[in-house]
Chains A and B, each alone.
Chain A
Amino acid sequence: MVIMNKIHITCIFALLFAIILNILPLPSIIDSCRPPILLLFLIYCTLAYPDDINLTYAFISGLILDILLIMPLGYNALCFTVTVYLIMIYYPQIRLQSNWNKMFSIFLILIPFFLSSTLMNSILKIDYNIVDVIISIILSVIIWPGLFNMLRFIRQKYT
């Protein structure tokens, strides 16, 4: 019970930190193609604790991000839930993969996320640039190994 509480507390703090990273001001050149840091944190948490971190976490984190980013409520919530659902289906395979394979898996899993966000952008008539979306996916895949090792270090230290 104590360990479970520790897991939840660590994940909540990590997600809060990710939310702040997500809204951190960046230079305008990389602003439009920034990787979805909060989603990458959520993916790691789901891979590490698939029994504890579930779709509720994804949905609530998405809602908080929608409120902070002044976007239609449910936009990020839906995109995050879809991605975390995919992770929950395929986590046994992804956990066993090597680092390079994991990067490829993240790439494949992020495609539905960006497809769903692109679909909603066109429904809500939000202007977007497809090149920025592609760069964002590539950046997410590039930073994944570093982020994975950092989060694993935190997990081993605090849970």
Chain B
Amino acid sequence: MYSDRQLKLGTGVRNNFSHIIQPIYIIAESPLRLYKNTSLYIDTKKSIIKENNSLKKKVLVQSGIIQQIPPLKAENKRLKKLLSSSSSIDTSKILIAELIKVNLSPFSNKVIINKGSSNNLFLGQSVVDSFGVLGVISEINKNFSVATLITDPGHAILAVNARTNKRIVLSGTGDNRKLKAEYISLNEDIKEGDILITSGLDNIFPGGYNIGEISVIKKKLNQDFLSVEVSPSSALSSNREVMLLW
């Protein structure tokens, strides 16, 4: 185990035997895939029409919101020019990948993605879903790669409080439902419900993506810092498709 940690033997083995490992993952995933495909066929016409209507409404609302973005973008650019700031949340390329739903160790906080080095992925690439940041690519094989979730105990991310613009370090707890914010002084301006976004300063995640919301703030006696919990906004345990950012 020690040599594996130092020499990354497991990564090497997975890389060399990815042609054998991937079919095993596919076989293990096939019952779930079969269940989902059959339930799609079994769905009644009524429920599909209902879903279609709700999706149409959602698109209408979202296209209304999108219409406001170009003037906001222009205004933002103008203000940033005034402040001489160069940060930007534009990303040049997005690739949609699917999760391979096999049961990894429940405590490992890792997911497998069906895109690998053949799709020009790189180590440390950020993975997001439609709700927020999911994690980073930590291992790349030929046809699949491993992403470490932001809730992994060994993972930390530099966030910004959207209300106050103050920087906060968030680290994983091992629990999919919470992150912990560290080193927040007792007199810091922070409230439950504050939205945290990526800062873009860590050179891993592009700035401006949603991370989560502050859910619990506790002030403990004899402690120099606040104990703050953050609930991640991305659907860490239930999503199927993710986006990879360049």
- Residue from B27, B31, B107 with most neighbouring chain A CB atoms (10 Å): B107
Asked whether A104 is an interface residue with its Cβ less than 8 Å from the other chain, the reply is no
Q: In the assembled complex, which residues on chain B have CB atoms less than 8 Å from the CB atom of A28?
A: 237
- Determine which residue in B3, B102, B106 has the highest number of CB atoms from chain A within 10 A of its CB, and name it: B106
Whether, in the assembled complex, A2 has its beta carbon less than 8 Å from a beta carbon of chain B, the answer is no
Measured between alpha carbons, how far is A23 from B102 in the docked complex, in Å? 6
> Is the CB–CB distance between B174 and A127 below 8 Å?
yes
* A111 within 8 A of partner (CB): no
A105 to B185, CA, bound (A): 54
Query: Considering the chains assembled together, what is the distance between the CA atoms of A70 and B102 in angstroms?
Result: 11
* Chain A residue contacts of B3, Cβ below 8 A: 73
- Knowing A24-B103, A67-B10, A67-B21, the reply to whether A73 touches B1 (Cβ < 8 A) is yes
- CB neighbours (8 Å) of A125 from chain B are 153-154
The residues of A that contact B48 with a CB separation of less than 8 Å are none
Binary interface encoding of chain B residues 79-120 relative to chain A, with 1 for a CB under 8 A from any of its CBs, else 0: 000000000000000000000011111111010100000000
A68 at the interface (CB under 8 A from B): yes
Establish whether residues A24 and B28, one from each chain, have CB atoms under 8 Å apart when the complex forms. yes
Take A66-B10, A72-B10, A127-B107 as given contacts and tell me if A25 and B1 are in contact as well, using a CB distance cutoff of 8 Å. no
B117-155 interface with A by 8 A CB criterion: 139, 146, 153-154
Question: Is A58 in the interface zone, CB < 8 Å from B?
Answer: no
> Among B4, B10, B103, B237, which residue has its beta carbon within 8 angstroms of that of A23?
B103
| Min distance, Cβ B124 to any Cβ of chain A, angstroms | 17
Contact A25 B107 (CB under 8 A): no
Contacts of A52 in B (CB 8 A): none
| Residues on B with beta carbons closer than 8 Å to the beta carbon of A68 | 21, 24-25, 102
Select which of B10, B29, B101, B153 is within 8 A of A127 by beta carbon.
B153
Asked if B173 is at the interface (CB within 8 A of a chain A CB), the reply is yes
Distance from A58 Cβ to chain B, minimum over Cβ atoms (Å): 16
Determine which of A20, A71, A121 lies in contact with B27 in the assembled complex, contact meaning CB atoms within 8 Å: A20
Cross-interface CB contact of B1 among A24, A34, A69, A124, cutoff 8 Å: A124
For B14, what are the chain A residues with a Cβ–Cβ distance below 8 Å? 67, 70
Is A74 an interface position by the 8 A CB rule?
Answer: yes
**Contact in complex: A19, B24 (CB < 8 Å):** yes
A60 vs chain B, min Cβ distance (A) = 13
> B25 contacts which chain A residues (CB < 8 A)?
23, 68
Kindly provide the distance from the CB of A44 to the nearest chain B CB, expressed in whole angstroms: 21
A70-B174 in contact (CB<8A): no
Residue of A nearest to B11 (CB): A70
Pairwise interchain contact A72-B104, C-beta atoms closer than 8 A: no
B217 within 8 A of A: no
Q: Which residues of chain B are within 8 angstroms of A150 by Cβ–Cβ distance? A: none
Q: How far is the CA of A26 from the CA of B139 in the complex (A)?
A: 24
Q: Which A20-63 residues have a C-beta within 8 angstroms of B? A: 20, 22-26, 28, 31-32, 34
Knowing that A20-B27, A23-B103, A74-B4 touch, tell me 18 more A-B residue pairs with CB under 8 angstroms: A19-B24, A22-B103, A23-B25, A24-B102, A25-B32, A34-B103, A69-B104, A70-B10, A70-B105, A70-B108, A73-B3, A78-B1, A121-B107, A124-B1, A126-B105, A126-B174, A127-B153, A127-B174
> What 3 pairs across the A-B complex have the smallest Cβ distances?
A127-B174, A73-B4, A32-B106
**Which A residues lie at the B interface, using CB under 8 A?**
19-20, 22-26, 28, 31-32, 34, 66-75, 78, 120-121, 124-128, 132
27 contacts between A and B (CB under 8 A): A20-B24, A22-B103, A23-B24, A23-B103, A24-B31, A24-B102, A26-B103, A28-B237, A34-B103, A67-B10, A68-B21, A68-B24, A68-B102, A70-B14, A70-B146, A71-B10, A72-B1, A72-B4, A73-B3, A73-B9, A73-B10, A74-B1, A75-B1, A78-B1, A124-B1, A125-B154, A127-B175
